[in-house]
Structure 1
Amino acid sequence: MTTIANSKTPKVLNVLLWIAQGLIALTLIWAAYAKLFQPIEETAKMLPWALDNPGLLTFTGIIDLLGGIGIILPAAFKIQPKLSVFAAYGTIALMIAASIFHISRGEASLIGMNIFFFILAAFVVWGRTKKVPFLVK
């Protein structure tokens, strides 16, 4: 017999997953905006390495933009929603790479946000593959 609490669990989890996806998307799109459209001098205030390697700044901005779009739009429009799961996997890889980058520069104290978004993306992968997968109609 299914209890009321158990029947609401997938709905609550689905809402939490959408919130996580939205938070990841907003953050990645914001980061892309900062990296691609702000003057490099402004971006360098947040990311000191930007002046040393503007090519890397542009590359990471494009990756951020694609990840931010990919984690939300395919699922929202129900067009190949599994791409949102792939974007979550990509976000995990991006956060690992960003953490390694910061640690290699002696900036280990800056990886807290990377760890947070790694955990959020892992939650999305787990939830969307095991507990509340997207249903394609």
Structure 2
Amino acid sequence: MEIAYWIVGALLALFYLYAGGKKVVQSQERLRPMMGWVDTVPMPLVRVIGVLEVLGAAGLVLPPLTGIAPWLAVAAAVGLALIQVGGIAVHLRRGEARLIGLNIALLVTLAVTAWLGTTWL
């Protein structure tokens, strides 16, 4: 279980570090082609979501790696899952039901990560 957590957790951390980093540093115009929803959400909220994703990525890896409060990894997975629930809601509200596949895949993977974290942390 520990190896499975590290594989899934590290891949998720890389994904969220990249996605969150883009939301933090790129302009609305640069984000728009990949994330059309940035037009309907205030840019400060997009930045907050990006910061939360970067912090969540760190939370998936650093606590179990250091052994300091490893339960925070489970909290990070749950927090990132809540971000995905919000993403699904935004897409559905915008009539973009066909775009929620990635959100659902990430949500399921985060749920598995949280479960894996509870089995050995």
Secondary structure, aligned partner of 1:76: helix
- Rounded to whole Å, the distance in 1 between the matches of 2:106 and 2:10 is 12
- Rounded to whole Å, the distance in 2 between the matches of 1:64 and 1:120 is 15
Partner of 1:25: 13
Q: Deviations over 1:27-56 (max 9, x none)?
A: 111111111112332111111232442122
Unmatched 5+ stretches in structure 2: none
- Rounded to whole Å, the distance in 2 between the matches of 1:126 and 1:33 is 26
Matched, 1:74 2:63: yes
Provide the identity percentage.
Answer: 32
Q: How does 1:1-137 map to 2 (within 5 A)?
A: 13-52=1-40, 53-129=42-118, 131=119, 133-134=120-121
Partner of 1:7: none
TM-score of the two chains, using structure 2 as the length reference: 0.90
Q: Deviations over 1:101-128 (max 9, x none)?
A: 1111111111111111111111112122
> Is the 8 Å Cα contact of residues 21 and 51 (structure 2) preserved in structure 1?
no
- Rounded to whole Å, the distance in 1 between the matches of 2:28 and 2:79 is 26
RMSD of aligned Cα (Å) = 1.4
- Rounded to whole Å, the distance in 2 between the matches of 1:91 and 1:15 is 21
Q: Name the structure where helix makes up a greater proportion of residues.
A: 2
Q: Deviations over 1:5-26 (max 9, x none)?
A: xxxxxxxx32111111111111
Matched length: 120
TM-score of the two chains, using structure 1 as the length reference: 0.81
Q: Deviations over 1:79-106 (max 9, x none)?
A: 1111001111112211111111111111
Unmatched 5+ stretches in structure 1: 1-12
Higher RCO (CA 8 Å, separation ≥ 6 residues): 2
